[in-house]
Amino acid sequence: MMNYEEAWAFLDNLQFFKIKLGLDSMAGFLDSFGNPHQDLRYIHIAGTNGKGSVAITLLTLLSQAGYKVGLYTSPHLSSVRERFRINDTYISTEDFAALASRIRDMLGGRQITYFEFTTVLAMLWFVQEKVDVAILEVGLGGRLDATNVITPLVSVITNVSMDHEAYLGDTLAQVAYEKAGIIKTGVPVISGVDDEVSMEVVKKTCQEYKAPLSLLDRDFFMLPGHDHTWNYKGLKDNPSGLAGLTFTLPGTHQAKNIALALAAMEILGQHNFTIEESVIRKGLNQITWPGRLEYFCLEKEDIKSQKTTNTWQKVSCPEQPNSDNTGVRRFLLDGAHNPAGVAGLVHALQNNFSYAKCILIWASMADKDFSTTLGSIAPLCNTIIFTMPEYERSASPAQLIDALEPQFQSRALLKDSVMDAIDQAHGLASPDDLICIAGSLYLIGAARQILLGELVV
C-alpha cells in the first residue's frame, strides 16, 4: 500500500492527463468497484459562483442537527485532503493513502483523470464511513462532470455566467445547458439563476425531466431585515420562513447562497432530514469558508527570513484602521477569479471595508478572462502586484500587466513568487491600508499557507 506522500504524488501525476469531460469512463470504473455510489444519498450542486458557499452552509446546518455529512469540493487551497470532509473532520492521511492505493490497484493501468480519481475516492470514503448524506460540488460544468453519475435528493444550480468557455461553450445558453445537465428525472431543483437566457434553459430542462423547479425571488426569497438581518421567505409549504437571520459568511451576496441552502433544506425535510429553527440560527453563525472574503490581521514580522511559511501572530482586527498600531497588517483573501466573482469582491471593497489604500496582489490562470476582471478591480487599487503561483496554467506577471488598461499600468509591480509579492505588499502597507489577495484560488492557497500555515494538519 502507498503511504500518504506516495499517494499524493501518484494523484499529482494524473494532472498530466488533460481535462476530459464525459461519464463513460467514470461509470465503467465505478462499476468495477460494484457501484458504491449507489449506496449513498446526495445533494448535488452546480453553478458558476457560490457552489462552495451553499455546500458549506448545508454541511454546517446538517452537522449541527446531528447528521453525519460528507462534503466533496474542489479545488483545494494547499492540501488535497481539504476536498474530503465529514462534518468538521478532513480525511486522514491513512484513509487517503489506503483508498488511493485501492483505486490505483483497480485501475490496472487504465487512464483516469485527477478529478475522476478524487471523485471516486470521495465516494468510497463516504460509503466506508456510512454518511447520512453526501454533498457533491460539480468540478466543471455539470452535464459531463465526473460527479454527474449520481441521482441526488435535490439538485442546486446557484447561478450561471460565463466561465470555462473552452469547455462549456462561448454563449450563456451553452454554459447554462451544461450546468443544467445535472437535472434528473423527478428530482427537485433549487436555483438562483437570474439571467433571462440561463433561466429559460433551466426551466426548459426541468420541464423535460419533470423536475420540480424552485427559483430564488420567485418561489422563495431572502430579503433585507432590520439592523443588518435577513428575512427568509420559504417555499409554498413554509411561506412564513425565518425572520431576523444573521450569518457569518462575509459579503451581502452570500444572502442568496444562504437562501439556496435553506430552500434545499426544505426539500431534504421531505426525506426525513429534520432540523430545528434554533439549530438553523446557530448554524448560520458558525459557517467558515477559508479563502472567500477571508479577513484577518497579523502582527508585523520580517517575512524575508521565512522561506515558505510564516509564524506571524494572528491578532484581532480593529473595527477601524488605526495608524497608531504600527505592527498590524490587514489582509483580505478572496478566490474570485471570474467576472461575477470579482464583481462580488468589488462590492465588498466598496461597501464593507474601510482603508486608506488598497494594495492588490493578483494572479490568474492563463485561460481566464483576466482583462475583464482586472478592469473592474484596478480602479480601486493604489498598487497592483502581479505574481504567479507554482502551477502550470498560471499566467505570467508580464501577461497580466499587458492586460491591464494603460492608465493603471503605472500602479503595477511584478514579482515572480507569491512570497516576494507578499513581502513587497507588507513593506508598502501601513495599518490603515488593506492588502487584498485575489484572482485565483491557487494564489489564495499559496498565500494562505505563507500567512497562516496549513488549513489541514
CATH classification at residue 397: 3.90.190.20
pLDDT at 56: 97
Q: Are residues 263 and 305 in the same domain?
A: no
pLDDT at 305: 42
pLDDT at 20: 62
Strand order in the sheet with 89-90: 89-90, 84-86, 69-72, 133-137, 42-46, 154-157, 189-191, 213-215
pLDDT at 161: 75
In a domain, 289, yes or no: no
Question: Which domain-ending residue is among 257, 284, 311?
Answer: 284
- The pair phi, psi for residue 332, each rounded to 5°, is -130, 115
Q: Are residues 149 and 245 in the same domain?
A: yes
CATH classification at residue 21: 3.40.1190.10
Q: Are residues 257 and 313 in the same domain?
A: no
In a domain, 132, yes or no: yes
Beta pairing partners, 137: 45
Range of the domain at 419: 294-452
CA distance 409 to 250: 30
Task: Report the predicted TM-score, pTM, of the whole model to 2 decimal places.
Answer: 0.91
Q: Are residues 347 and 265 in the same domain?
A: no
Query: Residues 242, 232: contact at Cβ < 8 Å?
Result: yes
The number of folded domains in the chain is 2
In 3D space, the residue among 39, 30, 73, 42 whose CA is nearest the CA of residue 184 turns out to be 42
pLDDT at 306: 46
Read off the C-alpha cell for 315.
Answer: 491578532
pLDDT at 390: 81
pLDDT at 168: 65
Average pLDDT by stretches of 10, the chain with 457 residues? 94 74 83 92 95 96 98 93 97 97 90 91 97 96 91 95 63 91 97 93 97 96 92 84 93 92 96 96 95 88 48 73 73 89 92 93 83 91 93 83 92 94 93 94 92 86
Q: Are residues 322 and 265 in the same domain?
A: no
In a domain, 206, yes or no: yes
Residue identified by cell 425531466 is 209
pLDDT at 303: 46
Q: Are residues 377 and 329 in the same domain?
A: yes
Question: Which domain-ending residue is among 220, 255, 284?
Answer: 284
In 3D space, the residue among 422, 326, 333, 343 whose CA is nearest the CA of residue 383 turns out to be 422
pLDDT at 411: 94
Taking the mean position of all CA atoms in its chain, how far away is CA 29?
A: 27
Question: Which domain-ending residue is among 242, 263, 284?
Answer: 284
In a domain, 92, yes or no: yes
CA distance 255 to 259: 6
Q: Which helix (H) or strand (E) holds 268?
A: helix 254-269
In a domain, 139, yes or no: yes
Q: Are residues 201 and 325 in the same domain?
A: no
Q: Are residues 107 and 72 in the same domain?
A: yes
In a domain, 374, yes or no: yes
Q: Are residues 198 and 335 in the same domain?
A: no
In a domain, 165, yes or no: yes
SS3 letters for 411-435? Answer: HEEECCCHHHHHHHHHHHCCCCCEE
pLDDT at 304: 45
pLDDT at 17: 61
Strand order in the sheet with 230-233: 221-224, 230-233, 242-245
Q: Are residues 350 and 267 in the same domain?
A: no
Q: Are residues 213 and 314 in the same domain?
A: no
Q: Are residues 272 and 363 in the same domain?
A: no
